[in-house]
Structure 1
């Protein structure tokens, strides 16, 4: 078969594919359900034609034209739409499934933070003089907050929000990266931050500043603590891969857990940004304490509700139907 005869027989399909690509642009969904299916059929046929042309007509202008057409079609069918779909799918389901797929690690991370927090609160309330020595200088004011709450001007609130956001991200990433130390640094980060929170709360309540302390942390605290716990979950995944690699080599086990752990850490960053925003703008006297507490409690329920709801594994039948 000559190149000219081959082109004459297949030209109609190639022209239809080019027309479909022009109509679709960078959004194949513009073609509608039937149009997308037809685009896939035309792409697969053109790819088969290219394989034939490369074998029979190497170096011919026809083969180069087919190569360009198939590359454009592949980008439309897979690469461009796939990246968008993957990004949306991760934040709507993938992130939550990563958190929910290891429930024992979720429980362990919460216990490592909540246990010391309870003990620290009791310590701060019963022995404030000794407990106060644990608090770093930058957190001393939190143990004796102003009754009316912080009252920042917009510029100061923005700067404070950024500093809090940076600190939250730093703590969460320490809990995550600490997994590479076989979990020692992760456990320390969860334990220390839980103990510190408990001591500060115990000192504030013991000094009669319970309402002021609630105003200080209620809008952002539940979500902020959740994010630190999530960083701990990611770190514990890495640690467990190193401690119990099973039949795999430790390096292989670590590589297998590294991707989900990084996904968990990356997916938590938007929530940490929200925590910083809330601490900068929703802790002052403008909002009643009840509103602040309701806001913080709602965000906590929403976050872990999404873990339960969106973290459920997709049933195989549902996946099969979704592909049709």
Structure 2
């Protein structure tokens, strides 16, 4: 191997790594490039050491590697100032960018759920395929209402939060395969429709709406967003878009999905608190539903109004980047 040619051929990558390491802020693409260049340079250093080249070359490359490693480690540090930027710019901008996906999916699923609930209400024999007479009697007699007050509110809120977060994460993670997302949505949609159809069919439709609406508006919207984002990731394989490879499209969509998944965590926590404290409370039904509707409207305004303003400032790209403090 011609060592001089080897060094000359790769010196540009080493210089580029050092340039990126000196920057205070890196976009997501630049941060990824820095990591790749660092990994390559580490391999190059290992090769050069085995060939015993000029110690000056070894020392210079080692210095550049140390700078690259220090920059990567600094970028991994936690910065409290990143939280407001994420919540006020990055997350709402990502929600706005994906709005056509989750609004369309939400409307379709709500229409399908309403139709299925009506069908089960109109044809009670359908519910008999899923529940026996005793189970239907228990559901109407108090199991549905009792579910929301079975545990202490703080414990129930944590349980609901965890369950919904897992479901949303599953939808996002399974999106690359597309079909599993529809399975997860279908199972949950069927469960809600069976419960609603049975309660409406037994004259307890108002109870169903009173105990579902306070938390369900926000909770289901989060699930719709997670499912839509997952399907968007899967669609990147099928239609990556012009001037992009499938790998590039998938990487971009997956990064956006991860940002949205992180942002949905506190939103689902709010939905969990509503389900644990507002849904089973002694407040009048109109007050409970009103509180849930206000929370939902606030989130929609956050996603569409604040998201539009954030996207106009280029927040998605900035929020996905890394801030590297000066040494």
**Fold-level match, TM-score > 0.5?**
yes
Structure 2 match to 1:307: 303
Matching of residue 122 in structure 1 with residue 110 in structure 2: no
Instruction: After TM superposition, list the pairs within 5 Å mapping 1:65-144 onto structure 2.
Output: 83-134=79-130, 143-144=139-140
Structure 2 match to 1:287: 283
Distance 1:158 1:215, change over 3 A: same
Distance 1:176 1:133, change over 3 A: farther
Instruction: After TM superposition, list the pairs within 5 Å mapping 1:179-194 onto structure 2.
Output: 179-181=175-177, 183-194=178-189
Distance 1:200 1:208, change over 3 A: same
Structure 2 match to 1:10: none
Q: How large is the Cα RMSD of the aligned pairs?
A: 3.8
Q: Per chain length, whose mean CA-contact separation is higher, i.e. which structure has more relative contact order (CA < 8 Å, sep 6+)?
A: 2
Equivalent-residue separation in structure 1 for 2:215 and 2:88 (angstroms): 22
Deviation per residue, 1:3-31 (Å, 9 max, x gap):
xxxxxxxxxxxxxxxxxxxxxxxxxxxxx
Distance 1:302 1:133, change over 3 A: farther
Deviation per residue, 1:67-119 (Å, 9 max, x gap):
xxxx9xxx8xx998x93333211111211111111332123321442132022
Three-state SS of the structure 1 residue aligned to 2:308 is coil
Question: Does the CA-based 8 Å contact 1:134-1:196 persist in structure 2?
Answer: no
Structure 2 match to 1:222: 217
Gaps of 5+ in 1: 1-57, 59-70, 319-324
Structure 2 match to 1:11: none
Equivalent-residue separation in structure 2 for 1:230 and 1:151 (angstroms): 26
Matching of residue 268 in structure 1 with residue 264 in structure 2: yes
Matching of residue 255 in structure 1 with residue 251 in structure 2: yes
Question: Does the CA-based 8 Å contact 1:176-1:234 persist in structure 2?
Answer: yes
Question: Does the CA-based 8 Å contact 2:95-2:304 persist in structure 1?
Answer: no
Structure 2 match to 1:277: 273
Instruction: After TM superposition, list the pairs within 5 Å mapping 1:126-165 onto structure 2.
Output: 126-134=122-130, 143-144=139-140, 146=142, 149-150=145-146, 156-165=152-161
Equivalent-residue separation in structure 1 for 2:119 and 2:314 (angstroms): 53
* Residues matched between the structures, number: 248
Equivalent-residue separation in structure 1 for 2:276 and 2:234 (angstroms): 34
Distance 1:101 1:151, change over 3 A: closer
- Pick which of 247-256 and 220-229 moved more: 247-256
Provide the TM-score with structure 1 as the length reference: 0.65
Three-state SS of the structure 2 residue aligned to 1:84 is coil
Q: Which has the larger radius of gyration?
A: 1
